[in-house]
Amino acid sequence: MPTTSYKAAAFLEAAAALSVEVVVGTDRRQALEAASPGHTLAFDLADTAASLHAIRREAVRTPFAAVLGVDDETTLLASEASRALGLPHNAPDAIRATRDKHVMRERLAAAGRPGPRFRLVSRAADPAQIAGEVDYPCVLKPVALSAGRGVIRVDDPPGFVAAFARVSSILDDRDAARGLGVTEHVLVEQFLSGEELALEGLLVGGRLETLALFDKPDPLEGPFFEETLLVTPSRKAPQVVRAVVDEAELGCRALGLEDGPVHAELRLDRGRPWIVEIAARTIGGLCSRALRFGAGVSIEELVLRHALGRSTDHLARERRAAGAMMMPIPRGGILRAVHGVDAARAVPGIEEVHVAIHPGAEVVPLPEGHRYLGFIFARADRPADVEVALRRAHASLSFAID
């Protein structure tokens, strides 16, 4: 996991709950070694050959039962390491397809899955010429960034030219481009309208087990795509839920994924589900805190159980509805204070309000930014009550940003 991972604490706690000895592979030892119940191995996550050498050398000293990449930046390295060590894994080629949005679109189209029209455009191309060749509305996106970074909807040629320059500027940022290897092109897709859902699943022998299906009650129509609310279980009709799950499984099959966690984003457009993206990891940010299985088991513990070959059959999601809100950034600047946190925590149904960015730090909204101000978590008997609680809690907060 990279030191910037939101998921470090959750996976380390899950490992401790299972009494699993852990070696944390990361890019900076000092940032994670104090929290790790085992020990930490530092290497350049972007240098696959050197990283594999370090992992093989460590495996001689301490043979591994499993290797797991917990973020987008590490799923491919974990797959390569698992293959090198003879451990269960998804094929590296399948993982590469989840990390390259253009390759993903090609694989899905080749398998006959419904999807938007798309084309890959070189950053060296003349955007004014391309703007006259595409249909509108369309979406421009970097090939390998995540969390909505660099994704922009445009409705006309002038908007296309401006957005193309903006995406190119984001790809010029060294932090954004580090380790991607796919920064010289921009993907242009037909815009898919309709409601969006997020599926959390676990692949077992190529079969997709649905762990949770989240509704996203706030519309994601652009020009930027900042996610806010996630509520589970879905309030969609059973036949719609079934269609979403089936499409996600067929998408995984088209990409060649067979084992481990899956996070899929789909849109309900023209009465059917269309795959937006599929990732071979758990849900992003701290949103996994909204999920509990069995008698309070986290999704991270469930994923580790599966990776270690232990049964997860008895671990169904809790019956109560749950949800999370990712606090959107209202404007860029320096965060001075977050007011109303106690009032937000006092809203019935709210379990936690977590401010993720410290006062004095810079906050950057989408499409350049990639971090949220924080997260709010709620539980209730009904999904509608979860949504109400999350909206009330967020309305209690105010943000002082210079």
Which residue reads 């129509």 in tokens? 221
Are the CB atoms for 98 and 255 separated by under 8 Å?
yes
Domain with CATH 3.30.1490.20 in the chain: 116-190
Predicted pLDDT at 197:
98
Average pLDDT over residues 196-202: 97
Could you count the other beta carbons within 10 Å of the beta carbon of residue 392? 18
Give tens-digit pLDDT for 123-142: 999 999 999 999 999 999 99
* β-strands 23-26, 39-42 pairing: parallel
Nearest C-alpha neighbor of 200 from the set 260, 137, 142: 260
pLDDT band (50, 70, 90) for residue 32? low
The CATH topology of domain 320-402 is: D-amino Acid Aminotransferase; Chain A, domain 1 (3.30.470)
Per-residue tokens: 5: 């991972």
C-alpha pair distances (Å), 271 with each of 135, 240, 248: 21, 9, 16
pLDDT band (50, 70, 90) for residue 52? very high
Give tens-digit pLDDT for 261-314: 999 999 998 889 999 999 999 999 899 999 999 888 999 999 999 999 998 888
Count the helices and strands in the chain (H runs, E runs): 13, 17
- For residues 364 and 370, what is the distance between their CA atoms, to the nearest angstrom? 8
Nearest C-alpha neighbor of 203 from the set 285, 284, 264: 264
Are the CB atoms for 24 and 38 separated by under 8 Å?
yes
Give tens-digit pLDDT for 355-402: 999 999 999 999 999 889 999 999 999 999 999 999 999 999 999 999
pTM for the model: 0.93
Predicted pLDDT at 267:
96
Question: Which position has the higher pLDDT, 33 or 85?
Answer: 85
- Multiple choice CATH, 116-190, 3.40.50.1000, 3.30.1490.20, 3.40.50.620, 3.40.50.970: 3.30.1490.20
- Give yes or no for residue 97 having a pLDDT over 60: yes
- Give yes or no for residue 175 having a pLDDT over 90: no
- Give yes or no for residue 194 having a pLDDT over 60: yes
Domain with CATH 3.30.470.20 in the chain: 320-402
pLDDT band (50, 70, 90) for residue 176? low
pLDDT band (50, 70, 90) for residue 179? very low
Nearest C-alpha neighbor of 376 from the set 392, 362, 400: 392
- Give yes or no for residue 44 having a pLDDT over 60: yes
C-alpha pair distances (Å), 283 with each of 7, 256, 313, 324: 10, 20, 20, 11
Q: Which residue blocks in 86-237 are alpha helix, DSSP H?
A: 92-99, 101-110, 127-131, 157-172, 174-177
- In the beta sheet, which residues pair with residue 379? 322
* β-strands 272-279, 321-326 pairing: unpaired
Does domain 8-96 fall under CATH 1.20.120? My reply is no
Taking phi over 0 as left and psi of -120 to 50 as alpha, with beta for the rest, 63 belongs to: beta
Average pLDDT over residues 6-32: 87
- For residues 66 and 372, what is the distance between their CA atoms, to the nearest angstrom? 31
Total residue count of the chain as it appears in this document: 402
